[in-house]
Amino acid sequence: GMELDSLSMNPVSIPKVKKVLRSITKVQTEKLTEYVLTLKTADDIVKYIKKQTKHILPGDIKKLHIVDGQI
């Protein structure tokens, strides 16, 4: 949805991120991105992402958190 060409992450996160990316369509990511950009705080974004992805990674998504204003 944001037209990213690459991602940087901890190697342990790669399987989880792959699972999420393979379970959502481009149209869905575009809609998600459009909505997320209307949110005012990083906390609001994290809450929304957790809600939208809990069916994909029920236990793992709970670990998503904010450090120094970044997700």
Average pLDDT over residues 28-32: 85
Say what the pLDDT of residue 66 is: 52
Instruction: Please state the rounded mean pLDDT for residues 15-30.
Output: 83
**Residue at token pair 């992402």:** 49
Quote the CA–CA distance of 43 and 7 in Å, as a whole number: 21
What proportion of the chain, given as a percentage, has pLDDT over 90? 11
Q: Is the confidence at residue 39, as pLDDT, over 90?
A: yes
What pLDDT sits at residue 2? 67
- What percentage of residues in the chain have a pLDDT greater than 70? 73
Q: Are 45 and 36 in contact (CB under 8 A)?
A: yes
